Structure 1
């Protein structure tokens, strides 16, 4: 007996099979690129996701696929897939880094229960109504990415509170806000009914089973957003448990047994369980480092080696805000770059400044969480970009926390698989804490005074240039 978790990410699709004790037995992943047909747009065709799913499934051992009893889903949050009544996409999916709706954010006047970003489903759908009326007329459902994938596998048209509450169209508990939908001229019938993340949401169709090498008729869990799935898969179970994920973006998640109070720059969302969580969301982690690596013509091995071969260059700073920023600045127009370059600087010193700039952006998010009343002295660490020991030490020093690496390379996919086990009745919610993966301390802060000074300069630099970043008007 085993359970399959599917994590539909921004830049890749990951699969993980766990056994009846929650131990990972196999994993596979397939990467793909975000499409940018116009400046500021971020899209992916659903056919790209489907091909990635089929390719990744084919890489899993056939005997393990035969043992799968249920499938759970994790997906990138905030974006949206418009489909017809049969679940066929009417246009490419729009994703969270998309900024085309930046000029529409004033239609969400303060105060809002959570910060509103242009790449959330609400602003994107409002943009569709205004600029693509043909797409709007063809639409029956406005689905979250993981919900589209579940429907494609034969599941129900349904969503969960963890995804709904992050659309800027629902209350903090994840219930659709009918008054707001009416004000934005968004048809209420576009939005799927709600069910718990761990509920059953249909069964695998014969056609999808054949494409994936699985048995038809197995249970499909409703699923959850990738951040709450990563928290679940990482073993967060008690009030105050905290997780740092580093992927394309970065998130710091702190679990709460009750709804946290609203706080400037922070999100308070529903978890995949019946908990809540505070979240600091930083948009420019892996995407910024990967972009800089490309600009500097590095292979990753040499990028790490050169960046950490010597001390950081005094006076050189890098703002990583290539796609705007959410926590703590709430500034979609923020941008990045180096300041303080001199003739003696090298590719290596520029790469080191980029690593530090990304670490400092994560620290700014953690500072916002601490200011909200959550004491965070340690973080569990997950994400494909967090494995280098030098990078981990820099993060520990910049954040002033102990870091505990999880023995769980695919936390979101594992969390999705656990939801599959819950939906099929194999586990009960109270049993999941005992399934938490092992965590090993990999870095502790070294009280680096020079680094702390560079962080203060980083914050000062952003404050000095923020007025440069003018928000373009929607045309």
Structure 2
């Protein structure tokens, strides 16, 4: 018996099969590109998703596909698919990077229970009503990406609280806000009922089964957004469990038993289980470091070497040595002296947590003739780490005392970078042995939907292994540079034309 998890991402679809113990047996992915027919638009033809899924499934071993007993779904959050009564898309899907509705956010005056972004379903649907009335007339249902896929597989027209609460059209619990929909002139009848992420919401149709090489009648779980699925797949099961993911952007997710208090700049959403989670979302992690590396004409190996020095801590391979190195004050990651007076703001594409300022921008301040490109690269690493710290501080200010983070994401492998993150964030980091957390979390939801696991009893036992890879060393000079980083952003924000007031409590 095995379970299939499908993660419908922004740039690729990934399918993973896990066994009865939750261990990954096979994974396959197929990439695709977004369409940008106009500046600021982000769309995709849903048929591209379907073709990519067929190709991804073909990459999984036939014997494993024959053994699948349930399917769970994970999907990119916030975007929206509009369909007619027959389930056919009436236009390309609009996705979360889309900014066409930026000027329509005045319908969500602050304070809001969650930050509102132009690529969320609410602003995008407001734009449709205003600018594409013919599309609105043809629309019968509005679906989140993973919900569209479930319907295409033969499942029910429902959504789960984790996706609904991130539309800017529902309460934090995920219940549709009828009064807001009326005020926006968005038809309430477009919106599907709610079901638990782990509920059974239909079965695989004969037509879809034939296309994907599966058996018809397989149970389909409702599914959840990709962030809560990744949290589930990474082993977050108890109140206070926390995860840091680093990729193009960065996210810090902290699980909570009860609804967290509202705090500006933070998201508080429903989890894929019966929990909630706080989330700090930072836009400029891998994307900023990659751009700086290109500007400075580095290969990655040289960028790490010149930014951090030649010594390489083996903490990633030997946790015991890491504890000894920390206690001995190991200086393997010593900061180049020239970089101590240099600060880099990484906000090359605006920022979400904690500033909520899409007009924020970046750059170096403090350059002198003595600075090398290695010092500039080091400052960039520090600036990105400080931006993550600002997000974590917002979470701590909301009442979550985070002292340890599970670590996931392709941008967090180098041991020197991990150590800087541990120092800057003042946390222990534990690397998760789960390279495909979102589809794994989706597969677990499938297993719950068909009765193999129980959401209340089995999650902790399904947690993947995690290795302690770095811990904070109490670097006072780094703490001073972080304080300077926060002060610098507050001083220059008006220059960017932003309308947001800087959070002076981010320290």
CA RMSD for the aligned pairs? Answer: 2.1
**Does residue 442 of structure 2 align to residue 404 of structure 1?**
no
* C-alpha distance in structure 2 between counterparts of 1:420 and 1:340, whole Å: 53
Of 374, 385, 394, the match for 1:359: 385
Q: Which residue of 1 aligns with 2:271?
A: 271
**Deviation of the 1:118 alpha carbon:** 1.6
* C-alpha distance in structure 2 between counterparts of 1:95 and 1:405, whole Å: 30
Answer yes or no: is the 8 Å Cα contact 1:102–1:471 preserved in 2: no
**Does residue 474 of structure 2 align to residue 447 of structure 1?**
yes
* C-alpha distance in structure 2 between counterparts of 1:52 and 1:299, whole Å: 32
1:264–1:59 CA distance, 2 compared to 1 (3 A): same
* C-alpha distance in structure 2 between counterparts of 1:410 and 1:197, whole Å: 19
Greater CA deviation, 403-412 or 334-343? Answer: 334-343
3-state SS of paired residue (1:90) = coil
**Does residue 358 of structure 2 align to residue 332 of structure 1?**
yes
1:147–1:304 CA distance, 2 compared to 1 (3 A): farther
Of 439, 446, 460, the match for 1:413: 439
5 Å matches for 1:65-464?
Answer: 65-309=65-309, 311-312=335-336, 313-342=339-368, 345-429=371-455, 430-464=457-491
* C-alpha distance in structure 2 between counterparts of 1:375 and 1:407, whole Å: 24
* C-alpha distance in structure 2 between counterparts of 1:123 and 1:335, whole Å: 24
TM-score (norm 2): 0.88
How many pairs are equivalent? 472
* C-alpha distance in structure 1 between counterparts of 2:377 and 2:34, whole Å: 24
Q: Which residue of 2 aligns with 1:22?
A: 22
Deviation by residue 1:285-340 (Cα, 9 ceiling, x = unmatched): 23333444444555544443444347452333332223322211111222233334
Following TM superposition, where does structure 1 have runs of at least 4 consecutive aligned residues deviating by more than 6 angstroms? none
* C-alpha distance in structure 1 between counterparts of 2:302 and 2:217, whole Å: 48
**Deviation of the 1:341 alpha carbon:** 4.1
* C-alpha distance in structure 2 between counterparts of 1:412 and 1:330, whole Å: 26
Deviation by residue 1:190-230 (Cα, 9 ceiling, x = unmatched): 21111000011222222322222222221111100111111
3-state SS of paired residue (1:440) = strand
**Deviation of the 1:439 alpha carbon:** 1.1
* C-alpha distance in structure 1 between counterparts of 2:470 and 2:186, whole Å: 48
* C-alpha distance in structure 2 between counterparts of 1:448 and 1:66, whole Å: 54
Q: Which residue of 2 aligns with 1:470?
A: 497
Deviation by residue 1:367-400 (Cα, 9 ceiling, x = unmatched): 0011111101000112222222222112111101
* C-alpha distance in structure 1 between counterparts of 2:259 and 2:233, whole Å: 21
**Deviation of the 1:43 alpha carbon:** 2.9
* C-alpha distance in structure 2 between counterparts of 1:344 and 1:211, whole Å: 62
3-state SS of paired residue (2:468) = strand
* C-alpha distance in structure 1 between counterparts of 2:432 and 2:477, whole Å: 29
* C-alpha distance in structure 2 between counterparts of 1:45 and 1:348, whole Å: 43
Answer yes or no: is the 8 Å Cα contact 1:102–1:332 preserved in 2: no
* C-alpha distance in structure 2 between counterparts of 1:406 and 1:327, whole Å: 24
1:11–1:185 CA distance, 2 compared to 1 (3 A): same
* C-alpha distance in structure 1 between counterparts of 2:90 and 2:297, whole Å: 38
Answer yes or no: is the 8 Å Cα contact 1:252–1:279 preserved in 2: yes
**Deviation of the 1:459 alpha carbon:** 1.2
* C-alpha distance in structure 1 between counterparts of 2:44 and 2:378, whole Å: 31
Deviation by residue 1:254-295 (Cα, 9 ceiling, x = unmatched): 111111111221111111111111111112223333444444
3-state SS of paired residue (2:341) = coil
User: For structure 2, which runs of at least 5 residues remain unmatched after alignment?
Assistant: 311-334, 500-507
**Deviation of the 1:102 alpha carbon:** 1.8
Answer yes or no: is the 8 Å Cα contact 1:5–1:417 preserved in 2: yes
* C-alpha distance in structure 2 between counterparts of 1:302 and 1:91, whole Å: 46
User: For structure 1, which runs of at least 5 residues remain unmatched after alignment?
Assistant: none
3-state SS of paired residue (2:459) = helix
3-state SS of paired residue (2:166) = coil
**Deviation of the 1:342 alpha carbon:** 4.6
1:442–1:224 CA distance, 2 compared to 1 (3 A): same
